[in-house]
Structure 1
Amino acid sequence: MSEKLQKVLARVGLGSRRYMEEVIAAGRVSINGRVAQVGERIEPGDELRIDGRKVQFQIEDEIRRRVLIYYKPEGEICSRNDPESRPTVFEQLPSIPGDRWVMVGRLDINSTGLLLFTNDGELANRLMHPSNEIEREYAVRVMGEVTPQLKKNMTEGVVLDDGPAKFESFSEIGGEGINRWYQVVVKEGRNREVRRIFESQGLKVSRLLRTRYGTVILPRELRTGRWMELDKGDIDNLTKSVELKPRQGTGLFGMAKRRNERMQEKPMAARRGGYLRQQRRDNEGEAQPEQRRDPRQASPEHGRTDNRSDNRFNNRPVRTEGNTDNRFNTRTDRSSEPRGDDRGNRAPTERNGNTFENQNRATDKFAQRKPPFGLKKGFKKF
């Protein structure tokens, strides 16, 4: 079982197949210590090196093809490492031992929505190559009026710095006032292509969300900053769209499938553009939020001047002698009275419109009580 060298290198994610052919022709690739040639075939037991560095690889039929959907939030960049220490999309993905995720297409730091990742470099290259004309669908919020003439210009084609571009489809999907939402489709993945097409007509894009890439649609149940792995049927449909053969054993199963389900049930922990918001505050000169006040200190604006740091739970109101207002209409007389036998000889008291007789409990202990259950007549009370 063998496979062409440039195909193996492209699937590892080092570049496109054509670029790998150039690298091989430059003599930078070796197999078992000798310089490799373009079109040479490689077997599973061979040692593969590029510029002296060993490359781990597997033959295509031995690899389980995997594809991830990721809902990119605003503020993350599409890069493995960032010199400015900004959050990246790769930080949220699960690890795959002995393999790596290859990103399909890109989204700028201000854009959100669907990103695809796969461990098959050949699949990623075919999905991104303009010759395959894979559709990318976006929901775009535009500030400004899109007249029929502007719509016609963008669907028939405009000239950008890197060549002509156009929307394959253009439809309005909602919005109020000057902010309107539109659904557009392009068949290329050039840098900021959708934004630049609108800007060529004097329109400003305030939000951009990718909702579809080829046959894969962003699921409604997927939350921002979360990922989901495609099953075998969805992966096969995606590979057929770029004329690749489906593989046996593709998709998610076993422990990986259960982990995927648990991952989607957890609370969202991804950053919702925190870095971006901080950057905007710095640019606009926004004042830093004031520090949190110690709750144990006095707060003049709330009328509290006492310091309760010595007893944080001593929040009971001070009792006063005599009757006070009571929302439950219960007795609140706490005045001190002698507790002698003359207590029951007082005049009748009136509470809530009802008159009660005061009786001497010492002389008539059981006068107002019912006999216990089962007590027979003539039984001695005690």
Structure 2
Amino acid sequence: MRINKWLSAMGICSRREADRLIAEGKIKINGKLASLGQEISGEEEIELDGKHISGEGEKREKPKEVLLAYYKPRGVICTTGEKDRGKNVIEDIQYPERIYPIGRLDKDSEGLLLLTNQGELVNQINKSRSEKEKEYIVTVEEDITKHFLREMSEGVYLKELERTTKPCIVFQEENIPVTQRKRQFHIILTEGLNRQIRRMCATLGYTVKRLKRVRIMNLTVDGLKPGEYREIRKEELGLK
């Protein structure tokens, strides 16, 4: 089995994260730096950041499968690398099993985040042929115009990424106070570029004041307060 697949199956991290850790020289196999795509049996002595996660000829048992829906508060970081500053999601949740986030929300954003130790579930979500919708409520500092909503929905060219975002659904709620509605909108994306919504708004001359993710696929953040989480089944996401 390839080392990234083993790390994923054992609930250490996703395959993508495993490849990143290997490239950064943070994974060792039998005392030597791991290489991308390296094959292992699972009985090797494996280290992550100098800590033993497998060894002494014993096969590590696959952990209990975990999938959590978590309301990430503002100020909490999704990544867990040593260069990050501030509290990260793992420290905030303090879950008894090793878990890691599926996707990201930047430090200044809040809302629904999924965490798991099921690498194959991450792959299933990423490879799903269905549109993986993510819905956000965005509050900006400037008054919203119909022109702004139309440009957001049709796609915005992001110079720094050298690409145009996919067309998406953008709308305003009707049953909220006018003073609130004039600076708040919903956006439903099917892609996840780095700081995409903030970049889109900035390109059109708007500044994001608050960004909250309220839905991932079929799952909403309803019932959760900032910092709270609950265990869920993948069927709640619309997956079999």
TM-score, normalization by structure 1: 0.49
Cα shift readout 1:199-222 (whole Å, capped 9, x = no counterpart): 211122211110011232112x22
Of 120, 127, 134, the match for 1:136: 134
Cα shift readout 1:18-69 (whole Å, capped 9, x = no counterpart): 9649959x9x764799x999584635xx22425886433756xx44321112
CA RMSD, aligned part only?
3.8
Higher Cα radius of gyration: 1
* C-alpha displacement of 1:229: 1.4
* C-alpha displacement of 1:194: 0.9
Of 211, 219, 224, the match for 2:226: 224
SS of residue paired to 2:152: helix
Corresponding residue for residue 47 of structure 1: 44
Given the alignment of the two structures, is residue 208 of structure 1 paired with residue 204 of structure 2, yes or no? no
Distance 2:137 2:65 in 1: 29
Corresponding residue for residue 157 of structure 2: 159
| Equivalent pair of 2:22/2:35 in contact (CA under 8 Å) | no
Relative to structure 1, the CA distance from residue 159 to residue 126 in structure 2 (aligned partners, 3 Å threshold; closer, same or farther) is: farther
Cα shift readout 1:225-273 (whole Å, capped 9, x = no counterpart): 212111xxx32454x63xxxx6xxxxxxxxxxxxxxxxxxxxxxxxxxx
Corresponding residue for residue 124 of structure 1: 122
Corresponding residue for residue 79 of structure 1: 79
Distance 1:85 1:32 in 2: 29
* C-alpha displacement of 1:171: 1.0
Corresponding residue for residue 234 of structure 2: 235
Distance 1:104 1:22 in 2: 16
* C-alpha displacement of 1:74: 1.9
Corresponding residue for residue 338 of structure 1: none
Relative to structure 1, the CA distance from residue 103 to residue 132 in structure 2 (aligned partners, 3 Å threshold; closer, same or farther) is: farther
* Bigger proportion of residues as strand: 2
Corresponding residue for residue 7 of structure 1: 5
Relative to structure 1, the CA distance from residue 70 to residue 19 in structure 2 (aligned partners, 3 Å threshold; closer, same or farther) is: closer
What amino acid sits opposite 1:159 in the alignment?
Y
Corresponding residue for residue 67 of structure 1: 67
Distance 2:36 2:80 in 1: 31
Flag structure 2 segments of 5+ consecutive residues without an equivalent: none
| Equivalent pair of 1:166/1:197 in contact (CA under 8 Å) | no
Corresponding residue for residue 180 of structure 1: 183
SS of residue paired to 2:172: strand
Distance 2:45 2:94 in 1: 26
What amino acid sits opposite 2:139 in the alignment?
R
| Equivalent pair of 1:71/1:113 in contact (CA under 8 Å) | yes
What amino acid sits opposite 1:110 in the alignment?
D
Corresponding residue for residue 374 of structure 1: none
Q: Which runs of 4+ in 1 moved over 6 A?
A: 129-132
Residues paired across the two proteins, number: 226
| Equivalent pair of 2:138/2:208 in contact (CA under 8 Å) | yes
Distance 1:185 1:133 in 2: 11
Corresponding residue for residue 16 of structure 1: 15
Distance 1:71 1:83 in 2: 24
Distance 1:29 1:132 in 2: 37
SS of residue paired to 1:106: coil
Question: Higher relative contact order by CA 8 Å / sep ≥ 6: 1 or 2?
Answer: 2
* C-alpha displacement of 1:153: 1.8
Identity among equivalent positions (%) equals: 27
Relative to structure 1, the CA distance from residue 53 to residue 132 in structure 2 (aligned partners, 3 Å threshold; closer, same or farther) is: farther
Flag structure 1 segments of 5+ consecutive residues without an equivalent: 247-382
What amino acid sits opposite 1:66 in the alignment?
V
* C-alpha displacement of 1:168: 1.8
| Equivalent pair of 1:155/1:168 in contact (CA under 8 Å) | yes
Relative to structure 1, the CA distance from residue 190 to residue 48 in structure 2 (aligned partners, 3 Å threshold; closer, same or farther) is: farther
> Greater CA deviation, 204-213 or 78-87?
78-87
| Equivalent pair of 1:137/1:185 in contact (CA under 8 Å) | yes
Cα shift readout 1:288-331 (whole Å, capped 9, x = no counterpart): xxxxxxxxxxxxxxxxxxxxxxxxxxxxxxxxxxxxxxxxxxxx
Corresponding residue for residue 95 of structure 1: 95
Distance 1:21 1:195 in 2: 25
